[in-house]
Amino acid sequence: MDRIGVVGAGTMGRGVAELFAEHGHEVVLVDVTEAALASARDEIERNVRFAPLVRPGTPVRDPREVSGRIDFTLDLKHLADVDFLIENVTEDWEVKRPLYAELDAVCRPGTPFGVNTSAIPITRVAGLTGRPEHVIGMHFMNPAHLKPTVELIRGHHTSDGTIARTRALLDGVAKGHVLVEDSSGFVTNRVAMLTINEAVFLLHEGVSTAADVDRLFKECFGHAMGPLETADLIGLDTVLLSLKVLYDNFGDPKYRPCPLLTRLVDAGLHGRKTGQGFHSYESGE
């Protein structure tokens, strides 16, 4: 069974690590802070403990057995013998750019690199490595261990072999996949980020309240979540960074972030992960 390297233990990386560990893979989970690794371990063990309640039909598993398959580490060198790598660090080119040179040097030649990004073009990331044919976009949805489908992105150089390898890996953990061509934001976030940003503008202009904006999407359109709840789930910091990436890539003012979004991020209100965003989660909502 493939040994999986997961870089970044934030909102997404911990879900990706959990997914593969739950399916029996050995995982190396790397971050730059002990705090992120400790909170990832806690969240993964909590998720496994409550899985049979939250997901009826899920077998009862020992949380320590699942987390025991994960090597939580600050040391990138532990990635030397992974068979497949999935990168989930902050949505910031200046964070991703220097990392890929290191990953390229540490990982075996030919090890596929799955890039989990909201909006950065995969071809641009692939250009940072000496293995562009082995680089593929793997846009996991949040929470990564629960959402059924992954958006796969073919970069300019991504080989058919890398696509087949990635599909087989996802089949093995019961994830569906939809393959799209490379474009900043891909299919999902070209639409979702604009929708979220427009919803924030509605709030900013006083047209409606956060609760009512979300209620309209759920009760009128039948969406499972409204756009502002979705933003809280993603993380307002990540939404803002993604809009900036889209704005830079297309040079189109339709992606300019709403000033209210910037203000909330500056205020440290990043959504669920900080307990407050457009809605409050202090009481464990």
Which is closer to ligand NAD, CB of 32 or CB of 194?
A: 32
Least distance in angstroms from the C-beta of 206 to ligand NAD: 28
Rg of the chain over all Cα atoms, to the nearest angstrom = 19
DSSP 253: G
Give the C-alpha separation, 190 to 102, whole Å: 30
Q: Is 139 a catalytic residue?
A: yes
Are residues 33 and 60 in contact, defined by beta-carbon separation less than 8 angstroms? Answer: no
**Number of chain positions touching ligand NAD (CB under 6 A):** 28
By the rule CB under 6 A, 9 interacts with ligand NAD: yes
Least distance in angstroms from the C-beta of 169 to ligand NAD: 17
Question: Per-residue x/- mask for ligand NAD, residues 96 to 135, rule CB under 6 A?
Answer: ---x----------------xxx-----------------
Tell which one of 47, 184, 238, 276 touches ligand NAD (CB under 6 A).
238
Tokens (6 digits) for 130: 């000496």
By the rule CB under 6 A, 235 interacts with ligand NAD: yes
Please state whether 141 falls in left (phi above 0), alpha (psi between -120 and 50) or beta: beta
Which is closer to ligand NAD, CB of 169 or CB of 193?
A: 193
Q: Which of the following is catalytic: 25, 134, 139, 270?
A: 139
Are residues 217 and 227 in contact, defined by beta-carbon separation less than 8 angstroms? Answer: yes
What strands lie across the sheet with 176-181, from one edge to the other?
Answer: 70-73, 27-30, 4-7, 84-87, 113-115, 135-139, 149-154, 176-181
Residues that bind ligand NAD (CB under 6 A): 7-13, 30-33, 36, 88-91, 95, 99, 116-118, 139-140, 142, 234-235, 238, 242
Annotated catalytic residues are 139
